[in-house]
Structure 1
């Protein structure tokens, strides 16, 4: 593999050498300089999201839009975009799950409590391709394939516009919750940053523990609160567990150069090397088989911290290009491109020495002999490659007709590997390292957008925008090594097939499916008077796999008094079922109570799914409406408040594992005698999400204290399931069970409150942010075993000093007060048995702030 660290260090060195002859800044048409951006109020910024007018500002928008500047992205200890947005946007949620297979490497984020794939992501106003990965484990966003925002480094970003309103009629599929539009850097000037940080934390309510407490008989003492099984009382020193891990080095640079009199070229690189974190607790369960009815002596000495629960180990390299060249005063050629490669290393559940999944059938088929004498921790590796490229021409023709013609291509590949594992059914003939196959997704999008403002004697003119779009998508599954999925000679003895922790994709799972869509839209917008803005939009879209859809939107803003305005919108929207949801397939063999069960995740058009009553997936359909008010009568102060209601019909979800006598009988009637359970995607539920958001910003007048900016935001939303589908062949069968329903409606915080302070004076700068995340429900097997995670405050601080004109040092801490979510319950609590996982997995993956604790960092920045 290429040493990307060396490559990036070399580029930083070259740029540093170039700083001896600095480039003089020149204005890029349509862009303000860094100093101008610093002086302008956010509400006066021109926006390009939610409107195709060329003169619309944030303050004039009829729908809510957050604008996040590039400096806010780079003045941070975190260097991945999702975590930064989680700090800054009240309605944005980014939980950080662990032990969730590929989701450990590509973690999804959500907006307004909806699914990750119900938010459209644009780069420079162009649709971004999604990840090939389908999130199928028990994390927030289960069943979705979303855009991986962490493939876009903060140093490449000029600003981010977050449109919090339905926009399918303007941009097409996915824009139900809103739109995140990432604008890449255009400004001239060069910048290099080196950031290093690590977690220095004490795990709340998790004791540092050692071996078992020994009873008078010389045997370990059992924990009477465990509920069942051999769980031992462990010794402890009375101190909470301290961790010093997750060291993260980020090297980033951005080079901005002029190209001709009106062109620009910006090239950004980022290399990130992140070590894993581990927030597991000691595992008190019996690890070894009994020896003559007594515990194995190794039970007393084994290191009980056998699991790894936290961030995966990752190595990331990303390159971004953003360039434009003025062909003539009325035409600009532009292009942008990105390349990202990521290697990840995430742990699965530890297999104990006495675990049936650690049995060596080669040694004995009658007595238990472990394959790994002391158990093993299987590792899932991810080999991810993400590529995108865009080219287009925009400008004016005729009498002030604006046009933009572009083509964008994007592709994502996720290759799965398994290490430190084995295939139980092959015994000693098994590999220990496997290629488990890969997922691949590609997307090509062509757009033509045309806009002109007509003077019809109405207000300041009517903006008319129309255009077309063609999109082609492809999804592939590639099979893994034979042993990664196959059943070996010992499968007849009850041994499970496939690589432990992640059985590979089989040849029967391979797919290569494509589809295309064609769309046309019309958008009208006008300021009827100085006080009234009206916006209308409509879109027709036709998909090759499920047909066509028509959507519309109406929005208005009324400002009867300068500084006080009312605004609202109503729209219909849709989200097309992804190819991943339609064609994802995998098979695993589980040994349940001595019986081998083939569990299939099958496409909806497969014979198994059809036999169970599946129907072709249809698009999700939404009806959005919102109403709000804005206040800006006091200089420097802006407050917005918006209420919204989002009804979604036919939401796409993955079913429970369908099994039981009725399922088995139906499958056998259709000739599937070797299949006893299956799951697939369905248009399974209707939901309603209601909420409100309040956002305020205040730029304190200059009083000799420097520049002070204050921000505050509050988000509240609630989702409920209004209807659920039933398979026509099996009435009454539960498609979407209690736990999955609660994961969807209560697995994210209903409230989020944030405050921010930015201060700059002379050479010094200071930033403070704090977020309060609301309650989250961890669904149990029944209502009695549900657990609510309480509210949690997380505070971030950073101090900067510009010791030279071009050199700045910064130190800070994310989660400076080392806050943790509530510990999950385990064993017997108030008469309820919460199981044993909570002993060694102390924090829930639903925690909206993660569970890593305090992150301390330093950063050096050089402008040249």
Structure 2
């Protein structure tokens, strides 16, 4: 099904009115940190604390007053802003993956949009099984839907957390537990809550430079944050960051490209494809946090703006075997006649075809190129070419609200948020083959836009019922609207030129532009109502019960619930457990997604594969069906031990999911189906030999163990020293795959990716030290073995081994307000195992490596506080 064209006047007006209102309020509002504690009804409403003691206060996972991690019934990781800053990358997703072992982020080279908008996974589940909050409020999805990111993330639509400037953060709290009943749909694996800096005054200006040991990947960053009090009760804090990063190339020359160079072909790029990390330019992130006591409550607002340009390579187009571009599929060079009706035939056509590899092929191609009105792609790219994929992202988001006390002890929080995330796709160094000599080499291929609005009312009241603590009754309502829009590209990116009937493919070769027939919007609304109860019947026992009802305009109704408990056997030792149900409703974008991907055939040939909507008639003909929600049941149980000399938590988790969303296996596209797709507006169908679609097709069980421990090393004099360690074991199992079932939509390769693409074992151990003048850390990271199907090909499987890397940083303060630090990640320059298939496409290392591809990276950072 195509996207319905046109925009709703009322919804367009809602955005145009709400967005300036939200961000405008953010520019004038101010607040007091003390007042925030009065709004404990909402997890977002509680000040996480600015003191050392406050740094360990949990506000995520419970709607009661903030408390320590040892007093909550579910595991929560608390990551301070200082921990995030002790790394070379300005990307908060990179920063988190080194300190939270259950969280994974891959580099995704040669993955188009997913190389720059990298999806984050928690506990081995899909990226959109984790709910992201900013100050406790739902954060918007990005407009990206991966289709070539190694398998696990394919088909997901999740937030882009890299747009959040890390300098604007106070801390990040990661709830590793199902929480859909508490926070809403998507919180199956857990919740990541970004808590922003609300210091009333003071500032920091910081700059950093980093580079890899190989001398590439240079990254420059300048960031600052500044808060000013307003009156006696408020503050405004502005934060901003600018960064730029060069490519870090980890590639070898492809075998076929090397053979062309040896044969004397000119213009062969070397390396043919630059696998590695992308080039990022003009990466701007702005954030504002503010509030003011207005008598009837606290009026607050926060929001941000981000923009950047990311550039990565696509796969190399070989000049002797790229059918529809250079060759005709029958072993001949493809020659086109730009004036087919003038009665003059071009040399190299018909019976005069030029066989690839013939002794006189170069001379005859030169004759074609020299003949007016005749065209061969070799005239533009004699040595082949690698298209450059450019993704420009712009996003704006904001929330404004009022919270306080309606009646004695009755807390409320009323808020409204709006967001717009736009990614615009450009491809350079490419061609629309059907346009021949009229084709440009730079294209605008269209845009995808994700827009959301969220309104919340949260209430909380502590009711005395004779228990050790009052029964905290929290409840509320949420309205959420999201719209996914596709904007058409320029005509040259999708239109059929004069050579379309002469064997040349239609549309820009690497990523065909969105045509007007595909462009349009799809949207939905949902309402949810929740009730959350928590109390201590006796002092040692904490019990919680939450339930939520959600109604979707496209999927109907759903009820989720969660029960939780924590029992303190002694003051130091406790046991805790939760049971929760959850679900994820496929977004409008997932329902409507259309795009191009790549796959390797059994003989190693790279072919295009098209992604079409699940409710397209062609998908329906082979077993596809309208998407439906994914559902989950999760159980956790753990131990908590807390003494001044040791804090340790051990938690087991088990998550069973049904109707999981995935990419189907590939299906061959017949000529009739291809013509039908083209007629529907999918011009890229002329390029593809196979097609896939997203589908609810399997069940899975995810289980594992998390261990987190902290030991203060008080015997070390002069300052504070601590040892901390964290370990995660996660096992994913597809429980419904039946290769003997003729209606099975999964294939063996997809199952392997889902089960084994991420390492089962992840861990780190860190020693930190700080004193008046010096600070430092040493961290060891462990990445277990995993399986890669290179560029999603079952025939190119290999199993890289486990790896250990070390990070270190040392900093000193020559002046009271000046801090200078130097450090490195992967200080011994350990790399993933070499890719045994690197000669096929040029990737030196496994593209899905959880430790990254760049190797050792050093950095220097300087910061001035005021």
Same fold (TM over 0.5): yes
Give 2:805's match in structure 1, choosing from 794, 805, 812.
794
Give 1:186's match in structure 2, choosing from 170, 195, 198.
198
Q: How does 1:428-507 map to 2 (within 5 A)?
A: 428-507=437-516
* Greater shift in the superposed pair: 119-128 or 101-110: 101-110
Question: Could you tell me which residue of structure 1 aligns to residue 264 of structure 2?
Answer: 297
Question: Could you tell me which residue of structure 2 aligns to residue 90 of structure 1?
Answer: 101
Q: Does the Cα contact within 8 Å between 2:175 and 2:191 map onto a contact in 1?
A: yes
Task: Give the secondary structure class of the aligned counterpart of 2:530.
Answer: strand
Question: Could you tell me which residue of structure 2 aligns to residue 844 of structure 1?
Answer: 846
Q: Does the Cα contact within 8 Å between 2:32 and 2:292 map onto a contact in 1?
A: no
What per-residue deviation string (whole Å, max 9, x for no partner) do you get for residues 420-453 of structure 1? 1111222211110101011111110000000011
The separation in 2 between residues aligned to 1:787 and 1:702, in whole angstroms, is: 47
Question: Could you tell me which residue of structure 2 aligns to residue 11 of structure 1?
Answer: none
Task: Give the secondary structure class of the aligned counterpart of 1:744.
Answer: helix
Question: Could you tell me which residue of structure 1 aligns to residue 298 of structure 2?
Answer: 332
Q: Does the Cα contact within 8 Å between 1:511 and 1:583 map onto a contact in 2?
A: no
Question: Could you tell me which residue of structure 1 aligns to residue 256 of structure 2?
Answer: 285
How far 1:724 sits from its partner (Å)?
A: 4.1
What per-residue deviation string (whole Å, max 9, x for no partner) do you get for residues 168-217 of structure 1? 001111100000000010012100000011111xxxxxxxxxxxxxxxxx
The separation in 1 between residues aligned to 2:180 and 2:416, in whole angstroms, is: 20
Task: Give the secondary structure class of the aligned counterpart of 1:245.
Answer: coil
The separation in 1 between residues aligned to 2:670 and 2:424, in whole angstroms, is: 37
CA change 1:26–1:708 in 2 (3 A) is farther
Task: Give the secondary structure class of the aligned counterpart of 1:850.
Answer: coil
Q: Does the Cα contact within 8 Å between 1:120 and 1:127 map onto a contact in 2?
A: yes
Q: Does 1:682 align with 2:695?
A: yes
The separation in 1 between residues aligned to 2:694 and 2:274, in whole angstroms, is: 31
What per-residue deviation string (whole Å, max 9, x for no partner) do you get for residues 51-70 of structure 1? 11124332200000011111
How far 1:659 sits from its partner (Å)?
A: 2.1
Question: Could you tell me which residue of structure 2 aligns to residue 110 of structure 1?
Answer: 121
Question: Could you tell me which residue of structure 1 aligns to residue 165 of structure 2?
Answer: 153
How far 1:251 sits from its partner (Å)?
A: 0.4
CA change 1:591–1:257 in 2 (3 A) is closer
Question: Could you tell me which residue of structure 2 aligns to residue 572 of structure 1?
Answer: 581
Give 1:771's match in structure 2, choosing from 781, 784, 790.
781
How far 1:589 sits from its partner (Å)?
A: 12
Q: Does the Cα contact within 8 Å between 1:129 and 1:410 map onto a contact in 2?
A: yes
Give 1:348's match in structure 2, choosing from 314, 317, 321.
314
How far 1:286 sits from its partner (Å)?
A: 4.8
The separation in 1 between residues aligned to 2:600 and 2:843, in whole angstroms, is: 24
How far 1:355 sits from its partner (Å)?
A: 4.3
Alpha-carbon RMSD across the aligned residues, in angstroms, is 3.1
Q: Does the Cα contact within 8 Å between 2:488 and 2:514 map onto a contact in 1?
A: yes
Question: Could you tell me which residue of structure 1 aligns to residue 430 of structure 2?
Answer: 421
Q: Does 1:412 align with 2:414?
A: no
Q: Does the Cα contact within 8 Å between 1:663 and 1:676 map onto a contact in 2?
A: no
TM-score (norm 1): 0.85
How far 1:661 sits from its partner (Å)?
A: 7.8
Q: Does the Cα contact within 8 Å between 1:496 and 1:589 map onto a contact in 2?
A: no
Question: Could you tell me which residue of structure 2 aligns to residue 8 of structure 1?
Answer: none
CA change 1:666–1:647 in 2 (3 A) is farther
Task: Give the secondary structure class of the aligned counterpart of 1:802.
Answer: strand
CA change 1:126–1:596 in 2 (3 A) is closer
Task: Give the secondary structure class of the aligned counterpart of 1:507.
Answer: coil
The separation in 2 between residues aligned to 1:590 and 1:70, in whole angstroms, is: 41
The separation in 1 between residues aligned to 2:500 and 2:843, in whole angstroms, is: 31
Task: Give the secondary structure class of the aligned counterpart of 2:411.
Answer: strand
Give 1:853's match in structure 2, choosing from 849, 852, 855.
855
Q: Moved runs in structure 1, 4+ residues, more than 6 A? A: 31-36, 587-593, 595-598, 660-668, 670-676, 780-784
How far 1:38 sits from its partner (Å)?
A: 5.6
Q: Does 1:694 align with 2:668?
A: no
The separation in 1 between residues aligned to 2:491 and 2:600, in whole angstroms, is: 20
Give 1:629's match in structure 2, choosing from 623, 629, 639.
639
Task: Give the secondary structure class of the aligned counterpart of 2:544.
Answer: strand
Give 1:171's match in structure 2, choosing from 183, 206, 209.
183
* Greater shift in the superposed pair: 454-463 or 138-147: 138-147
Gaps of 5+ in 2: 1-30, 39-45, 327-333, 337-345, 357-364, 366-377
Give 1:63's match in structure 2, choosing from 74, 87, 91.
74
CA change 1:184–1:39 in 2 (3 A) is closer
The count of corresponding residues between Structure 1 and Structure 2 is: 775
Task: Give the secondary structure class of the aligned counterpart of 2:69.
Answer: coil
TM-score (norm 2): 0.84
Question: Could you tell me which residue of structure 2 aligns to residue 223 of structure 1?
Answer: none
Q: Does the Cα contact within 8 Å between 2:660 and 2:696 map onto a contact in 1?
A: yes
How far 1:825 sits from its partner (Å)?
A: 1.0
CA change 1:355–1:167 in 2 (3 A) is same
What per-residue deviation string (whole Å, max 9, x for no partner) do you get for residues 505-526 of structure 1? 1222223111000000000000
The separation in 1 between residues aligned to 2:37 and 2:816, in whole angstroms, is: 24
Question: Could you tell me which residue of structure 2 aligns to residue 131 of structure 1?
Answer: 142
The separation in 1 between residues aligned to 2:319 and 2:258, in whole angstroms, is: 6
CA change 1:597–1:197 in 2 (3 A) is closer
CA change 1:702–1:361 in 2 (3 A) is same
Task: Give the secondary structure class of the aligned counterpart of 2:453.
Answer: strand
Q: Does 1:553 align with 2:555?
A: no
CA change 1:417–1:782 in 2 (3 A) is closer
Gaps of 5+ in 1: 1-24, 201-242, 827-834
The separation in 2 between residues aligned to 1:589 and 1:72, in whole angstroms, is: 38
Question: Could you tell me which residue of structure 2 aligns to residue 641 of structure 1?
Answer: 650
Q: Does the Cα contact within 8 Å between 1:97 and 1:850 map onto a contact in 2?
A: no
Question: Could you tell me which residue of structure 1 aligns to residue 154 of structure 2?
Answer: 142
How far 1:489 sits from its partner (Å)?
A: 2.5
CA change 1:410–1:41 in 2 (3 A) is closer
Question: Could you tell me which residue of structure 2 aligns to residue 240 of structure 1?
Answer: none
Q: Does the Cα contact within 8 Å between 1:498 and 1:588 map onto a contact in 2?
A: no
Q: Does the Cα contact within 8 Å between 2:182 and 2:548 map onto a contact in 1?
A: yes
Question: Could you tell me which residue of structure 1 aligns to residue 22 of structure 2?
Answer: none
* Greater shift in the superposed pair: 792-801 or 122-131: 792-801
How far 1:503 sits from its partner (Å)?
A: 1.4
